[in-house]
Amino acid sequence: MAFSLTRTLLVSLLLFTPFGLSACGSDQSQAALGCATAASPCLSGKAVVSLQTSRGEVVVELDGADAPLTAGNFVDLVRRGTYNNTVFHRVVNQPTPFVVQGGDPQSATPGVSPELFGTGSFLDPSTGQTRFIPLELGLKGKAIPRYGEQLTDPAEASQLRLLHERGAIAMARSEDPNSASAQFYVALRPLPELDGRYAVFGRVVKGMEVVDRIQQGDKLVKANVIEGGTLVKGQP
């Protein structure tokens, strides 16, 4: 019971409550949630992104084959400068390593109370609307990822292409599986309990020791795409 409660509390740390939550409902067809109709761009191929943090550089490789919409959203936000000077507002490494979470756009805004960090999303200036993306899960044997639905069947979860291994980068969201926006986290250890519930879209390929040193309140000073990063409208 103690283990179950601890795990539940840790998983709850990945949730956030964005203002004006209006994510796509789970009753929408998966076809309407994927790259073919998404307003945000999708990633074709791979992208390598440098995250310059106040503790040092972290390099992540993003997977456009198995998570094109989620990875494309991240690359687009990097290029917009959305992540520059944001705060790592939630770090759980004691008593058991869990995640380092950041990416709330409002945490880079002077004067915003730290108490609000972790509640924000990306507001698209071209539309004036908050951008939300659906849960995206790439499965072995499937040409297109599954959208909008968590996996509850262990047999299906075993077919996931991208897992919560140590160094995995994934999207945080609210209770609605289709409410991810800008916030992300890095797994500090394998987290199989999150597989099929949150969208992994890449992994740390350099600087995991830097991630281990990040403390709550540290900053993501600047993010840059250093390789790849081809964005497309529609299915890659």
pLDDT level of residue 102 (50, 70, 90 thresholds): very high
Domains contained in the chain, CATH given? 2-230 (2.40.100.10)
**This prediction's pTM:** 0.89
Please, which residues bridge with residue 184 across strands?
102, 171
Burial of 152 (0-12, 13-18, 19+ CB in 10 A): exposed
The dihedral formed by the CA atoms of 106, 169, 41 and 142, expressed in degrees to the nearest 10 = -150
Mean pLDDT (whole number) for 142-154: 93
Mean pLDDT (whole number) for 191-216: 98
pLDDT in tens, 112-135: 999 999 999 999 999 999 999 999
pLDDT level of residue 21 (50, 70, 90 thresholds): very low
Q: What are the backbone dihedrals phi and psi of residue 31, each rounded to the nearest 5 degrees, phi first? A: -60, -30
pLDDT in tens, 156-187: 899 999 999 999 999 999 999 999 999 999 99
pLDDT level of residue 31 (50, 70, 90 thresholds): low
Given a cut of 70, whether residue 10 has pLDDT beyond it is: no
* pLDDT-above-70 percentage for the chain: 86
Q: How far apart are CA 13 and CA 102, in angstroms?
A: 12
Q: Between 56 and 16, name the one with better pLDDT.
A: 56
